[in-house]
């Protein structure tokens, strides 16, 4: 099955700085890579996703890049704000199960 | 649309008790999933279903059972609850109609404690 590793486990940045979270995956056939944001006590919410037929996708301050050859993808948040503080999870679709395999999460703290 | 709903929100069980976690979606999604999230950890897939009458095991199915008699409902049954099943349980659904429409939508979760 799919295996997803995520780094770092915690990340602290100053407001206005950029934050980068990286994930690697094992199944070269995976073709869908979403990122979820989870605030304390809440459900995971999709913030951006990328399909394997593109290398980069942007949505305002958030971008995701995908390197299929190296089997890694990254989340980039620019001009961070205190409300960006949360746990972020990457995931890759397990093509065998048509389900998502999640990384272990990154706790992002944006210091005002 | 209500999206994905789950009941109950919270539950405390004693060791050896059984219960059913309810999940329903009103988006006519084919695919439904159950995940558990232990404190400070990611989500682990318990069971999933690609349509009514079809279910399959995920990474951590032991101690759980599911059924999918309708498109809308996907209950998760815990038999003989154990402290290791203390977790937050999330149900999710996705359209599943084609390879490029697998965005998953999560329910609010059920926080289960087994004492």
Three-class HEC string of A51-97: ECCCCEEEECCEEEEEECCCCEEEEEECCCCHHHCEEEEEEEEECCC
d(C-alpha B106, C-alpha B91), whole Å: 6
Banded model confidence at residue A79, pLDDT cuts 50, 70, 90: very high
Count of CB atoms situated within 10 Å of the CB of B3: 15
- For chain A, give the percent of residues with pLDDT over 90: 80
Of A49, A101, A105, the CB nearest to B103: A49
Q: What average pLDDT score do residues B96-102 get?
A: 62
Long-range contact list for B56-64, CB < 8 A, 24+ apart?
Answer: B56/A97, B58/A97, B58/A99, B58/B33, B58/B34, B59/A1, B59/A101, B60/B36, B64/B34
Q: Are A46 and B99 in contact (CB < 8 Å)?
A: no
Interchain CB contact of A43 with B (< 8 Å): yes
Q: Pick from B48, B9, B8, B56: which is nearest to B29 by CA?
A: B48
Paired residues of B23 in beta bridges: B6
Q: What average pLDDT score do residues A24-49 get?
A: 93
Residue from A98, A103, A105 whose CB has the most chain B CBs within 10 Å, to mutate: A98
pLDDT tens digits for range B25-53: 999 999 999 999 998 888 999 999 999 99
């Amino acid at each position: 099955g799919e295996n997803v590793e995520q780094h770092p486990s915690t990340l602290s940045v100053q407001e206005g700085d950029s934050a980068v979270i990286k994930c690697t995956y094992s199944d070269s056939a995976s073709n869908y890579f979403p990122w979820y944001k989870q605030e304390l006590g809440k459900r995971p919410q999709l913030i951006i996703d990328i399909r394997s037929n593109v290398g980069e996708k942007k949505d305002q301050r958030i971008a995701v890049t995908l390197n299929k050859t190296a089997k890694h993808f990254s989340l980039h948040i620019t001009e961070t704000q205190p409300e960006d503080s949360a746990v972020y999870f990457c995931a890759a679709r397990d093509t065998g199960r048509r389900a998502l395999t999640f990384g272990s999460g990154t706790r992002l703290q944006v210091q005002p | 649309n209500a999206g994905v709903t789950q009941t109950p929100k919270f539950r405390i069980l004693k060791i050896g008790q059984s219960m059913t976690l309810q999940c329903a979606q009103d988006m006519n999604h084919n695919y439904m999933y159950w995940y558990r999230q232990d404190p400070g950890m990611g989500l682990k897939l318990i069971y999933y279903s690609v349509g009514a009458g079809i279910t399959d095991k995920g990474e951590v199915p032991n101690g759980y059972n599911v059924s999918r008699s309708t498109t809308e409902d996907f209950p998760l049954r815990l038999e003989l609850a154990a402290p290791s099943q203390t977790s937050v349980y999330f149900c999710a659904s996705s359209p599943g109609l084609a390879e490029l429409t697998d965005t998953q939508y999560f329910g609010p979760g059920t926080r289960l404690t087994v004492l």
